Structure 1
Amino acid sequence: MPTKTKPGKPEKGSLRLVCIGDTHGFHRRLSVPAGDILIHSGDFDGRTIEEVDDFNAWLGSLPFRHKLVIAGNHDLLFDRKPKLARAHLTEAIYLQDSGVRLEGMNFWGSPVNSVIGEEWAFGVERGASMRKHWDRIPEDTDVLITHEAPYGTLDKNDILGRYHGCQNLLGALLRVKPKLHVFGHIHGGHGRESAWNMTLVNCAVVNNRRILTHAPTVIELIR
């Protein structure tokens, strides 16, 4: 069941968020800067218990106050055997169409994506089926974490390529207007942009050839 956010006055100051995604088993090769909250936007390659255990042990070695993780289309164990997978991810808060309130801010995460097939995880047809997931995002969300990218922003695999993002997710962004949207999935779209009074971050750390290329993205977020 989704974790309901609780009302209350936000704490003052700023939060240092360190955002990573699409690590695809390279997590131990990352140089992770210090911060308050670590966010992983999916595709750590959680296909087996052994892979989840290794990822979890690595998370446990990182000195963040909070760690938030969502799954992606490669994290099959979380789709096929969710209770087992979650039992082995003890060093982070796992979000799946659910939210949590931390440090005076509301976070919401979803692993759904448009990659369909038996070999993939959390695939949903675009249109009405996917829109049902985005419609669940609360309007008081401060930080939205998805694996899927929104249409038209940081969702190209190369500068001359087509947009791969979801138009319904873009619609949800314009409805909710979070302070920050963190996503990945489209490796070639790595970067940061500001639009509609939001910060949007594609934090994929590998490139299109799945070579570790990018450092974690650090966001100073005013509460």
Structure 2
Amino acid sequence: MESPTSSPNIRTRFLILSDTHGREIHPEYSKHHADVVMHCGGLTTESKIEEFKTAIRDLRSLDAPLKLVIAGNHDFTMDIPIFQGKVIEANLDLQLVKKEYGDYGEVRELFDQARESGIILLDEGIHSFTLQNGALLKVYASPYTPSLGNWGFQYHPKTGHDFRFGQDIDIVITHGPPKGIMDSSCSGGRAGCPHLFKAIARARPRMHCFGHIHEGWGTKLVQWRERVSEDPTHFMDIDHGKSTVIGRLSDMDPGTRVLETSHCTEDQNPLKAGPQTLFVNAAIEGTDDFPAHPLWKIDLELSRAT
């Protein structure tokens, strides 16, 4: 009989959130232990230094040895060329700017100081971690979203963005969603990125987490079609009949603080790595009807580190 230590896969627990926007998180979140916390950006509303300090305090309060963080469009002071351009364009007093928003690069210094609490700010790219539970975690992170505005970490929708990762990635963390998956905006249109969808459809990671589109909160276990089309889209490359919605706002009790789902070998809906991807919109900030969305607590299996 195979011993637990010889198993090729390790059950790994994630706490996933996004779009906290400078507000203190609910104390309930801190009662749940995980192997990894992932914050998918939207740390602030106005990118003020005090909002970042609140976000870091929130992350410190969560019970996990590793806490991975990316920026979002609201966190524009971390996109230093954009931050500098705003200051110059508005002809602002630099001393007043520093008082409210910090100096150029000051937010990154705050995150550097927070590394002793397991908090790691991820720049765009591929990152590997050997977890305390013995699993190997390979992540691709990107804060970039499509927009015609003047926020941080953005690109023109027509130009697109080069999301560079291959099929050996376990989890993709982006601020925004891919087009066609939990990206319906309050205006009724799809706000996700088609370039991101194409990259995800080709790589087929175990999980893709994001936020940004608050009303799209939810989780879906997607079944991919056997072959990737030449120009992947959510119409052609997903087998919707074999995909499963795990949670969505229309099914949620507003009093729910944490929602759990597990997709390991012995579970009802085990994740089949390669043929399936678990998509998670983890936006915490809600609307007047549902002011705060639940935190996601998710169990998946990862490969054992060698």
TM-score range for the pair, normalised by the shorter chain length: 0.7 to 0.9
* 8 A Cα contact 1:27 1:44, kept in partner: no
Query: SS where residue 145 of structure 2 aligns?
Result: coil
Question: Which of 152, 169, 175 is residue 147 of structure 1 equivalent to?
Answer: 175
Equivalent residue in structure 1 for 2:110, among 88, 96, 110: 88
TM-score by length of 2: 0.63
Deviation string, structure 1 residues 5-44 (Cα, Å, up to 9, x no partner): xxxxx96321101100011122333521321110001101
3-state secondary structure, aligned to 2:105 = helix
Against the structure 1 CA distance between its residues 115 and 11, is the aligned structure 2 distance closer, same or farther, given a 3 Å change threshold?
Answer: farther
Partner amino acid, structure 1, of 2:147 = V
Q: What's the counterpart of residue 301 of structure 2? A: 222
Measure the CA separation in 1 of the matches of 2:121 and 2:198.
25
CA drift at 1:207: 2.0
Structure 1 residue ranges, 4+ long, deviating more than 6 angstroms after superposition: none
| 1:5 corresponding residue in structure 2 | none
Q: Which moved more, 1:107-116 or 1:53-62?
A: 53-62
The separation in 2 between residues aligned to 1:106 and 1:64, in whole angstroms, is 17
- How far 1:174 moved relative to its partner? 0.8
Q: Which one has a bigger Cα radius of gyration? A: 2
Q: Does 1:101 align with 2:180?
A: no
Say whether the 8 Å CA contact 1:99–1:106 is kept in structure 2. Answer: yes
Distance 1:49 1:209 in 2: 26
How many Å separate the matches in 2 of 1:115 and 1:30? 34
2:155 to 99, 108, 124: 124
In 2, Cα distance between equivalents of 1:210 and 1:117:
27
| Residues 33-75 of structure 1: CA deviation (Å, up to 9, x unaligned) | 3211100011010712222222212322322110000111111
CA 1:157–1:31: 2 relative to 1, 3 Å: farther
Q: Select between 38-47 and 95-104 the one with higher mean Cα deviation.
A: 95-104
**Any idea what SS the aligned residue of 2:28 has?**
coil
Rate the CA distance shift 1:114–1:179 in 2: closer, same or farther, 3 A: same
Pair 1:58–1:206, CA change in 2 (3 A):
closer
The runs of 5 or more residues in structure 1 that have no matched partner are 1-9
Relative to structure 1, is the Cα distance of residues 210 and 131 closer, same or farther in structure 2, using a 3 angstrom cutoff? farther
Map 1:33-182 to 2 at 5 A. 33-45=32-44, 47-80=47-80, 83-89=105-111, 90-91=114-115, 92-102=119-129, 103=131, 104-118=136-150, 120-128=151-159, 130-132=160-162, 134=163, 136-158=164-186, 161-182=188-209
For residues 210 and 77 of structure 1, the distance between their equivalents in structure 2, rounded to whole angstroms, comes to 31
Tell me what 2:283 maps to: 204
Out of 212, 222, 240, the residue aligned to residue 185 of structure 1 is 212
Provide the rounded CA distance (Å) in 2 between the counterparts of 1:11 and 1:127. Answer: 43
Q: Is 2:176–2:212's contact at 8 Å kept on the other side of the alignment?
A: yes
Match of 1:4 in 2: none
In 2, Cα distance between equivalents of 1:84 and 1:161: 38
Counterpart Cα distance in 1 of 2:66 and 2:289: 27
- Report % sequence identity: 30
- Deviation at residue 211 of structure 1 after TM alignment: 6.2
